[in-house]
Structure 1
């Protein structure tokens, strides 16, 4: 069966699967039900699935005549956020949609497995929201023999309009600096006996704001958490802080981190405090691959038309998909940006989108792999 026609035939099944995965929303590293749901559907179609003892990621594979692998990646976890006054796992980033589209791409290609030249692998990864899942899947051998890697992500309507798609999303790099300033506790009536970490924190915030890089690419750094003290008449012993760093390129991020670390150490010296800090939740910036982009452009033109091809999608957000290419620069890879009338925005607790986009999004992924399979 033509895999594109298979997607048309399975339209209602695709929409139902999305709704069921949406209701299963599970946080990073706890995607058990989601993983089992996807695994059961894959195995029911005769697709071989590899599981792991220490996480819920999956590797599904359809053998081809060659050992060289072409692959698609989907993320499975949900964001933990407050929704109508209740903190819960919530699919407000579209991972349920990504898993649905990649799952049905696998089911479609399984119908034509005898025609495949390359082995096709489907990576269902955990913990994208913590920027840790891609690294874990690489440890598990997800990229062994991979020559091409594709991904897809829903985009807000102000980035990519409905019924359009972009062959590449240019995400920036992001990292958080979390730290604790240790001073000396004292009664507020005798401040000379202490060393106020809140005053050091105030100086640190102002010093960080003065960072300037001689760089042509955009960047930002800002305070996102500051806490210290429990009593109005007591100088606290410590204060904790978080800075959010973002940069359009990995090279700019390296400069920003270096300057931030220098500033923190200088403030500690000036205030005679101890500042312990670490970098957490790092995600690298996208690395454009023209070969992969051209393949994605061709797939989008086939499914949607030339007029509905948006050449590029730039996002200030981050994606751990780019660890795959940062650590494996020889792999041709790209992430497609799918227009789907998404609003108010990604990570908004009430995010919604037009679910018809799941149909043409899946067709784009099917066409992408079919075309890449023909490349020797």
Structure 2
């Protein structure tokens, strides 16, 4: 189904929950980490992650990844909704009653060639899981196993959000628009990180990652011979002026205390040393930690491209509104405090890192803009195993020792949230208390 039918889904959950009501309820484990570290579950998560890694799919093309997820949820007996936002899957575990809490993993890969030589290297030329989303899916499925095994201890409902198109496609925005958060009170997300040691978690309250937007421009001139430039209109010169001028937007127009970045990562034009081309294509991103700063950059980028092209007698076509504008990723203060307490119980106070904000962006921001959210990083660096490269590198690798931490934290955050945030009872007129 494209849009959520909450009545049908809740009814299904009630039936599944009640059909096993004869089972005895045990205490929910205070720490899922020991369970997640069991060889059986760890090997299963690693196998899932490796299969996804071998078969990477780009945003809104995650059909096989989505099929794998649904197959595993079917084996567990976990009901789900699909498709959501083209390839997305949302699973449900618990009573079908409030409170509702969501835990999220992104599914898409990057358009890049893997250069890591190993047994499970990408089989798809030009595509690679270079940011760890394969591990994110495996960890959320691992959490699903843990939660499903203890579903009769849950005091509400957990949503398992498998999201498409995080890498620039705004898949989270489409899932929000599909209504998946209609009854949800909070959402948690995580990301593996080679910056921090294995066994640590890192986050901060408030703004965590910058908002961002994308732009692309085709600057058209008039091609000609490099020896007689006066008979041509040079789009390379115009595009070069645009790139230089855009750097001034940060150095001379932005408040030095308001972090902003403009980066041109795409510059394509020409194919011969002695030919002035007809057109040049440039593209890039802009980032800021405030909505006002982001909108100001967007406006000024359009103006700079248009006017610099005109100075050099070129025409221009700008694409900027077609791309989703990612909000600033802001961690809810109360949820961040809650996450810190859960993480402290699991990994210890010394392994909790209060990190500085990052200029990178995350479309988890769309979820956290709609409902209270908390996003954190899982460290996976182990110097004894060699240095790990940062995300979006063709040499990016995942230390699979991180998998139990992610599965356990997902499960613990969701389970304890349902206990700690139970709906407050409302007084009923004419109750026994009133009659006393």
Question: TM (normalized to structure 2)?
Answer: 0.78
Q: 1:283 — aligned with what?
A: 326
Q: Secondary structure at the match of 1:177?
A: strand
Q: Does 1:21 align with 2:38?
A: no
C-alpha change, 1:233 and 1:301, in structure 2 (3 Å) is closer
Query: Please, which moves more after superposition, 118-127 or 279-288?
Result: 279-288
Q: Secondary structure at the match of 2:263?
A: strand
How far off its partner does 1:318 sit?
A: 1.9
Q: 2:79 — aligned with what?
A: 48
How far off its partner does 1:209 sit?
A: 2.3
Q: Does 1:162 align with 2:198?
A: yes
How far off its partner does 1:47 sit?
A: 1.1
Q: Does 1:247 align with 2:288?
A: yes
Q: 1:321 — aligned with what?
A: 364
Q: 2:13 — aligned with what?
A: none
Query: Please, which moves more after superposition, 160-169 or 5-14?
Result: 5-14
| Aligned with residue 236 of structure 1, among 264, 277, 280 | 277
Q: Deviations over 1:109-162 (max 9, x none)?
A: 2223233232211110112123322122223322121110001110123xx222
The answer to whether the Cα contact below 8 Å between 1:184 and 1:237 also exists between their aligned partners in 2 is: yes
Find the aligned partners of 1:84 and 1:231 in 2 and give their Cα distance.
Answer: 29
Find the aligned partners of 1:117 and 1:181 in 2 and give their Cα distance.
Answer: 58
Find the aligned partners of 1:236 and 1:92 in 2 and give their Cα distance.
Answer: 34
Q: 2:119 — aligned with what?
A: none
Find the aligned partners of 2:313 and 2:49 in 1 and give their Cα distance.
Answer: 52
Q: 1:76 — aligned with what?
A: 107
The answer to whether the Cα contact below 8 Å between 2:57 and 2:65 also exists between their aligned partners in 1 is: no
Q: 1:337 — aligned with what?
A: 377
| Aligned with residue 133 of structure 2, among 85, 95, 117 | 95
The answer to whether the Cα contact below 8 Å between 1:197 and 1:239 also exists between their aligned partners in 2 is: yes
C-alpha change, 1:296 and 1:277, in structure 2 (3 Å) is same
How far off its partner does 1:54 sit?
A: 6.9
Find the aligned partners of 1:71 and 1:222 in 2 and give their Cα distance.
Answer: 34
The answer to whether the Cα contact below 8 Å between 2:339 and 2:413 also exists between their aligned partners in 1 is: yes
Q: Secondary structure at the match of 1:43?
A: helix
C-alpha change, 1:267 and 1:68, in structure 2 (3 Å) is same
Q: 1:32 — aligned with what?
A: 63
| Aligned with residue 369 of structure 1, among 410, 414, 417 | 414
Q: 2:97 — aligned with what?
A: 66
Q: Deviations over 1:48-70 (max 9, x none)?
A: 11111872210101242624421
Q: Where does 1:252-331 land on structure 2 (aligned, <5 Å)?
A: 252-279=293-320, 280=323, 282-312=325-355, 314-326=357-369, 328=370, 331=371
Pairwise CA RMSD:
2.5
Q: 1:351 — aligned with what?
A: 396
Find the aligned partners of 1:16 and 1:107 in 2 and give their Cα distance.
Answer: 11
The answer to whether the Cα contact below 8 Å between 1:65 and 1:117 also exists between their aligned partners in 2 is: no
C-alpha change, 1:199 and 1:145, in structure 2 (3 Å) is same
Question: TM (normalized to structure 1)?
Answer: 0.89
C-alpha change, 1:341 and 1:53, in structure 2 (3 Å) is closer
Work out which of the two has the higher radius of gyration on C-alpha atoms and give 1 or 2.
2
The answer to whether the Cα contact below 8 Å between 1:166 and 1:313 also exists between their aligned partners in 2 is: no
Q: Where does 1:95-174 land on structure 2 (aligned, <5 Å)?
A: 95-157=133-195, 160-168=196-204, 170-174=208-212
Give unmatched runs, 5+ long, in structure 2: 1-25, 117-123, 383-387, 423-436
Q: 1:214 — aligned with what?
A: 254
Alignment coverage as a number of residue pairs: 371
Find the aligned partners of 1:273 and 1:8 in 2 and give their Cα distance.
Answer: 60
Give unmatched runs, 5+ long, in structure 1: none
How far off its partner does 1:233 sit?
A: 4.3
How far off its partner does 1:8 sit?
A: 4.0
